[in-house]
Structure 1
């Protein structure tokens, strides 16, 4: 049984979530969203990059294999391929662009 935090959770603890939430509210990213927030989307996409996933289907396969750990990884409960693809399609990309620019500026 795991006694501490997962490595992915330790890595994402370095991300400033308050700043991301401020940027998200600026662009109304979580407007009329109940479960799969922009933060959950960001964590899923970071997980895909770090695990070298080649497609959305490949990413969803690996997330579904870790379904019991998804809460502890920060993905939330409602991660499905349709939720993730709709979020990638409809949410404003400027949220993630501005957050990336902020991270680059503070390093």
Structure 2
């Protein structure tokens, strides 16, 4: 059987789980939670951002449609109240720390010199715009 990597697994590969767990321990992120961990919240937030979900109801509905596919990355059914409680009680500092870890990672792979071009550089955008 061929192994297929989903877009979500590609996104999650950017975030080292052990680094995230260190941040969770530092800020006591899972202190008052029973079963919805910070890692699961990160998965839901990435899904919502990638899918342009703008409400808790929209996130819950979209997740429940493909419930069987979320098992492989450790996500069970997520209710609006659970997500709302997690968003209000879990410290933002975990995700801020994760951002700075990713920023360090990006800086380490970018070249140290600035780019210089001999000729003019043109950028083309192929985004379609709906007129009506």
What TM-score range do you get, normalising by the shorter chain?
Answer: 0.7 to 0.9
Structure 2: 5+ residue runs without aligned partners?
107-132
Query: What residue is the counterpart of 1:11 in the other structure?
Result: 11
Q: Is the 8 A contact 2:67 2:77 kept in 1?
A: no
Query: What residue is the counterpart of 1:21 in the other structure?
Result: 21
Deviation (angstroms), 1:103: 0.8
Query: What residue is the counterpart of 2:87 in the other structure?
Result: 88
TM-score of the superposed pair, with normalisation by structure 1: 0.88
Structure 1: 5+ residue runs without aligned partners?
none
Structure with the greater alpha carbon radius of gyration:
2
Matched residues in 2 for 1:78 and 1:30: separation?
18
**Runs of 4+ that moved beyond 2 A:** 2-7
Deviation (angstroms), 1:102: 1.4
TM-score of the superposed pair, with normalisation by structure 2: 0.72
Matched residues in 1 for 2:84 and 2:7: separation?
26
Query: What residue is the counterpart of 1:66 in the other structure?
Result: 66
Q: Choose between structure 1 and 2: higher helix proportion.
A: 1
Structure number with higher relative contact order (C-alpha < 8 Å, ≥ 6 residues apart)? 1
Give aligned pairs, total.
106
Q: Is the 8 A contact 2:29 2:38 kept in 1?
A: yes
Secondary structure at the residue paired with 2:70? helix
CA-atom RMSD in angstroms: 1.8
Matched residues in 2 for 1:19 and 1:68: separation?
28
Deviation (angstroms), 1:18: 0.7
